[in-house]
Each structure stands twice: as C-alpha cells, then as structure tokens.
Amino acid sequence: MKLVQAQDLEAIAIGSAIYGTGGGGDPYIGKLLAQQTMRQHGPVRLIDVDDIGDDDLVIPVAMAGAPTVLLEKLADVEPLITALRRLERELGRPATAVMSAEVGGLNSTIPFSVASATGLPLVDADTMGRAFPEIQMTLATLAGVPASPLAMADEKGNSLLITALSNAWTERFVRSALTEMGASSYMALLAMNGAQLRRATVRGSITQAWRAGQAWLDARAAHRDAISEVRRVTGGFHLFTGKVVDVQRVLAGGFCRGQAVLAGLDAHDGQRAVLHFQNEFLLAESRGQCLCATPDLIVMLDLDTGEPITAEQARYGLRVAVLGVPCVAAWRSAEALDLVGPQRFGYPQAYVPLEQLTQDR
C-alpha cells in the first residue's frame, strides 16, 4: 500500500496527461479537485490489485463528455459520490474500493477525490493503460465485464441508472444522456469483483503515471531535457518535431474530433505531419506514411518545457515534439484491435505495432 498525499497529485497529473495521449480531459482539473478534497479529508490509500479479495466489490468512477466542455464545467466530488452510492444501492452492497476507469487524463485524478471523501482505498490499476473515447473500449469489455448497470449524475442533482445489453449499447445510451446533461456527466460503472479485476485491468498503471510525472518534474528541476526523460520512462519513440500550423476541431456526439497539422522543424524541416483525434490522438502520419496508430499512444509535448499538450490545447504556433509509446500487449490481439484499432475509428490503415513502424523508417 502507498499513501498518496495531496502534493503527490502534481506528478500523477503530469503522468496522466502523458498517458492520456492527448485526450481524457485535462488532469489538471481533477488534480485541483482531488487536492482540495484531500486537504479536507486526508490522504488516499493506493492499494495493489492483489489486496482485493475475489468477492470484494471494486467500482470505477469517472467523468464523461467532450474534453472541450470539461474545461468550462469544473468538476465536483458530490455528483461522483451520488453516482457511486446509486450504483451501490442497485448492486445491494457497498464498494470495497474505487478505481480509475482510465489512467490517462482527467479520469486518473478524479477518483482520488472520491477515495479521500469516502475513505475508500483506490486500486492501483485501470481498464485501459491509456485513455480511449468510448466506454466499451476497455480490457474489461474483452474480459466480459459489463459496463452496466451504470449510474450517472450531474451537477444539477439529476441522476439515472442505465442497464444495457452490451457495453457498446451502454456507450450509446450514455452519449444520449450527455446531451441533456450539458455534454458532461459523472459516472460509476464497470463494477467488478476481485477475480474479474485480475483479468480485466492494467496493474500498477497509476504508479506508472506517477513515475512518468515525477521523472518530468525531476528533469525540469535539474534543467535536464524533460522530453528525453519522458521518452525514457515510458519506453517511447521520438516521431516528429514541428510547429502547429493548423488545428481543425468540431464538437459532435459528445466528442471533440479533428486534426492538428505540424510543419517540421530541425531534422523534420520541410516535412508535415498530421495528428488525427477523437478526444485522444489516434493516428499520426507524415508523407503518406503512418507514424503511429491506436492502440499505441501518441503524445504531444511542448518542445521547450516538455509539458504534455492535449488535443483541445493544441493551437497555432506551438512548437512540439510528438512521441509514440507502445500500448500494453493485451491491446494487440485481433479481438482487441477490432475494438480499438485504427479501422474502428474509420481510418483505412491496418494496425502495425509502433516498434515495427519505427524500425521500418
């Protein structure tokens, strides 16, 4: 068990932005909420997957919606607890622990506020090892863990319970409800016992985000190259260096969709790269060749500071480095690629592992 203090959220938030691969919502918002809650209610116990008994109940909590909207609607812990209690009542028993649904972005830091306010431990795991834009895009889905019953709540006091035939149907109903809830909402979902937890999650992912964020902070404090440190600690590859010269984005169906165009700098002078996103960066290409594709991670970092840049923060004139980070091995099966591969998002490219793409170049 690790005891996470409010100040530790600084590193965790940076690491979560890295593993958010441009999406998942800005973890800075979740960090502020978690730190405020932890200063009031105390630190959070971060426990290992093996500390959960086979019959214990773990409930992930999360926010849903377009990251652009989440920048304007500040998070609150009370609707999260409302959703958690609503799901507990439906299941007929209290949760043993809470968990992050995804290690990337806002939803990696949001659960710390719930854990602190309720006194429940937080499991050091998530269901993705990164961020993805849709509820069914989890290792839990591949392991047969249903996303529903799912409880939703908003900041106005509304709440509802969704039960659906599949995780894909759960996603569709949540998106419909989000429209009426102002394009963002609070959720408790993917309830699972300890036995399911061991099959359906990425172990130690919160600690890994913490480690990546701490490496970034240490590099900045020592005036070392933060980008090189992030690449080292994540096992990533440097794909492209450039300046953002165009960003196209549209809010549709609860997602922020679009692309960022980069004009090459330094070794990539005279070249262009395009990063396509649906909340998260999903495909990077240059000169008609794929640089990196989902489920591998595409990470945009400020060239001067090494700070992670989300898709909604990308703007003209930013000088950036683009990294590719290999996904966890579980995402590379044929079944997993049907769920989260590039063709699932409408891109024609077949998935090729990042390591192979880099070697081929």
Residues in the chain: 361
In the chain, the amino acid numbered 179 is T
Residue ranges, the chain, pLDDT below 70: 66-74, 252-254, 361
For position 284, what pLDDT does the model report? Answer: 97
For position 184, what pLDDT does the model report? Answer: 80
Please answer whether residues 240 and 227 qualify as being in contact, where contact means their C-beta atoms are separated by less than 8 angstroms.
Answer: no
Please name the residue ranges forming H helices in 222-295.
226-234
For position 244, what pLDDT does the model report? Answer: 97
Architecture of domain 2-205: 3-Layer(aba) Sandwich (3.40)
For position 198, what pLDDT does the model report? Answer: 96
Instruction: Count the Cβ atoms, other than its own, within 10 Å of residue 169.
Output: 16
**Same fold? 2-205, 233-360:** no
Q: Give the closest residue to 87 by CA, choosing from 175, 133, 146.
A: 146
Domain boundaries in the chain? Answer: 2-205, 233-360
Q: How far is CA 111 from the centre of its chain?
A: 12
**pLDDT, tens digit, for every residue of 111-133?**
999 999 999 999 999 999 999 98
Please answer whether residues 47 and 124 qualify as being in contact, where contact means their C-beta atoms are separated by less than 8 angstroms.
Answer: yes
**pLDDT, tens digit, for every residue of 243-281?**
999 999 887 666 778 999 999 999 999 999 999 998 899
CATH 2.40.390.10 fits 233-360, yes or no: yes
pTM: 0.94
Which are the contacts of 22, defined by CB distance < 8 A and separation ≥ 6? Answer: 275, 277, 279, 280, 281, 298, 299, 300, 309, 310, 311, 314
How far apart (Å, rounded) are the C-alpha atoms in residues 182 and 66? 10
- Any idea what DSSP says for residue 351? P
Residue/partner pairs of 260-269 with CB below 8 Å, 24 or more apart: 260/300, 260/311, 260/314, 262/320, 262/322, 264/240, 265/241, 265/303, 265/319, 266/241, 267/241, 268/240, 268/241, 268/242
In the chain, the amino acid numbered 191 is A
